[in-house]
Structure 1
């Protein structure tokens, strides 16, 4: 079972390939929802050195950054070998 942790936003790196998929309208809507209801779904990250790499939840991460939040709820997952 995955354990939800509070992770500093500043330690999470977004892969370049994911950055192209950002929808600013979706970020704005999520930010408003998070203000009203809190973060309901943690993002997924994996460890890399002293930081983390984003796996899932780019829009949630950017919404919390836009709100000025310092921490985000996250699950740490292990990378899968293909």
Structure 2
């Protein structure tokens, strides 16, 4: 299992466009990917669940990646977050 924290830098927070891009990327990964914010933990492969977190700028999310290709998948998700969130 791989885990990392990310602080949302986007002015609008985790809104529809980056959430959609994140879900698309997560769905292409073979690993199970979840996002935890406050007390909510959701699948990163479900758009409405990700948007339902309502994470705003400067909020910290925790992403957990678990599966056969977790290292490579975690790296892809981490790079995406740094560039788009």
- So what's the TM-score if we normalise by structure 2? 0.31
Could you say which structure has the larger radius of gyration? Answer: 1
